[in-house]
């Protein structure tokens, strides 16, 4: 798994080869059950507190979600997150802003994309969303061959890398979450093993997730869009969140 650290605020995952580091663990259930309604902050008019430009922008933003990051759970303006372009000067700063693979984050990204993608299509004269959006193992966009606006959408995303990065991040985090869920039984069994013999049996039973062809064992992630552009993220055809 690699991370793109092109800026201090926008740090995203690159889509994995459907594999997963089995050491990853899911966020706790309390974090995953947090409501995913974008927040609009009230005005601070009359307050004596001096706000940063970022805080002022978050007051009126409709794209603020509670996100799980490398520095804990915090409110993030996803519009700003994916459009910031200042460079990252140290790894610790980049890791602190990294979006973690959690169902909470996947749900937030699904709702955020559903709220902004329809307008994005309209602004570029695209009257219908693609049924599916995929990214291959190299992180390259894959649209259906029979999609009527394939060239137009590809060009629009090239002109707006922030939207492309939003879609790619949703796909990548979803792939990791699906992989974590798929390998949970293996991790639980290993935690309860009392001998090396039991460990060997467990690893044999789950060898599909560990061999050279392990990518084939993990769920296939797809960004499924309604005609209007509302998103449902699926893993092997089933809703992920």
Residue ranges per structural domain of the chain: 3-239
Closest CA to 74 of 83, 65, 82: 65
In tens, the pLDDT along 158-211 reads 999 999 999 999 999 999 999 999 999 999 999 999 999 999 999 999 998 887
Chain centre distance of CA 123: 24
The burial of 14, by beta-carbon neighbours within 10 Å (0-12 exposed, 13-18 middle, 19 or more buried), is given as: middle
Q: What is the mean pLDDT of residues 19-34?
A: 42
Sign of the C-alpha dihedral, residues 2, 162, 18, 30?
positive
pLDDT for 51: 53
What are the φ/ψ torsions at residue 59 (nearest 5 degrees)? -60, -40
Tokens representing 173? 């985090």
In tens, the pLDDT along 32-84 reads 444 455 554 444 444 455 556 666 666 668 889 999 999 999 999 999 999 97
- Residues 11 and 94: beta-carbon distance below 8 Å: yes
pLDDT for 95: 74
pLDDT for 38: 57
pLDDT for 60: 61
Closest CA to 30 of 76, 73, 71: 73
pLDDT for 214: 78
pLDDT for 144: 97
What is the rounded average pLDDT for all residues in the chain?
Answer: 81
What are the φ/ψ torsions at residue 121 (nearest 5 degrees)? -65, -45
Between 168 and 18, where is the model more confident? Answer: 168
Tell me which of 7-11, 65-69, 129-133 is least confident: 7-11
pLDDT for 54: 61
Question: Which residues, in sequence order, are CB contacts of 102 under 8 Å at separation 6+?
Answer: 26, 27, 31, 32, 68, 173, 177
In tens, the pLDDT along 79-120 reads 999 997 544 455 555 677 899 999 999 999 999 999 999 999
- Residues 233 and 221: beta-carbon distance below 8 Å: yes
pTM of the model: 0.73
- Residues 134 and 142: beta-carbon distance below 8 Å: yes
**DSSP β-bridge partners for residue 132:** 224
């Amino acid at each position: 798994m690699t991370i793109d650290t092109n800026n201090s605020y926008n740090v995203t995952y690159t889509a994995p080869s459907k594999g997963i580091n089995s050491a990853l663990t899911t966020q706790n259930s309390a974090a995953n059950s947090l409501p995913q309604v974008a927040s609009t902050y009230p005005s601070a008019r009359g307050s004596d507190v001096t706000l940063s430009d970022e805080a002022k922008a978050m007051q009126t933003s409709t794209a603020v979600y509670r996100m799980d990051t490398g520095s804990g759970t915090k409110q993030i303006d996803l519009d700003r997150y994916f459009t910031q372009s200042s460079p990252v000067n140290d790894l610790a700063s980049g890791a602190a802003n990294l979006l973690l693979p959690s169902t909470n984050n996947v749900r937030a990204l699904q709702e955020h994309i559903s709220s902004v993608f329809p307008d994005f299509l309209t602004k570029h004269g695209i009257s219908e969303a693609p049924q599916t959006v995929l990214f291959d193992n190299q992180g390259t966009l894959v649209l259906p061959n029979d999609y009527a606006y394939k060239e137009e959408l590809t060009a629009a995303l090239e002109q707006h890398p922030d939207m492309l990065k939003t879609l790619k991040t949703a796909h990548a985090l979803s792939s990791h979450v699906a992989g974590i869920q798929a390998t949970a039984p293996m991790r639980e069994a290993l935690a309860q093993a009392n001998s090396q013999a039991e460990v060997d049996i467990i690893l044999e039973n789950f060898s599909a997730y560990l061999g050279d062809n392990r990518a084939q064992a993990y769920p296939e992630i797809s960004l499924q869009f309604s005609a209007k552009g509302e998103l449902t993220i699926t893993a092997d055809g089933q809703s992920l969140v």
